[in-house]
Amino acid sequence: MKEADMSKNVGIVIVSHSSLVAQGAADMVRQMVGDEVPLAWCGGNPDGDLGTNVPAICNAIEAAWSERGVAILVDLGGAETNSEMAIEMLTDKRRAKAVVCNGPIVEGAVMAATESSGGATLEQVRRAAEELYRL
């Protein structure tokens, strides 16, 4: 898939306290959904231990950036708060196109990516990621 085609779809960012969890969730998305969706992940604190890392989240958002927007899947508290911080650091124009989804990190990432691969909007992708928590 060419870059130009990828950027038509909403990007997915996976932020976990564990790099293994983040990478594993990203592997599942790649295998189940394919390469049509811009995808990036990060996990671990600045020392490489369990935790989250604002600069790493900023880089992941940049890597998965799409003009359609970016949906971020997180695990526990610090991942959510630090992802919100990373969004706040984006330019004004980009800030409105990045959202943290209130959904389970693995299932939410797969569902969000599936929705994105069909060309859905950021809001539709977010709803897909959050679907399991609405049941």
Q: Which residues participate in catalysis according to the annotation? A: 17
Give CA–CA dist 59/12, Å, rounded.
13
| Least CB distance to another protein at residue 15 (A) | 12
Q: Exposed (0-12), middle (13-18) or buried (19+): which is 59, by Cβ within 10 Å?
A: middle
Cβ proximity of 115 and 86 under 8 Å = no
Binding site for another protein (CB under 8 A): 45-47, 49-55, 76-78, 80-82, 84-85
Q: Would you say 53 or 66 has its CB closer to another protein?
A: 53
| Least CB distance to another protein at residue 123 (A) | 21
Q: Would you say 34 or 77 has its CB closer to another protein?
A: 77
Q: Would you say 6 or 54 has its CB closer to another protein?
A: 54
| Least CB distance to another protein at residue 57 (A) | 11
Of 110, 87, 107, 91, the C-alpha closest to 99 is 87
Of 115, 105, 84, the C-alpha closest to 24 is 105
Which residues pair with residue 34 across a beta bridge? none
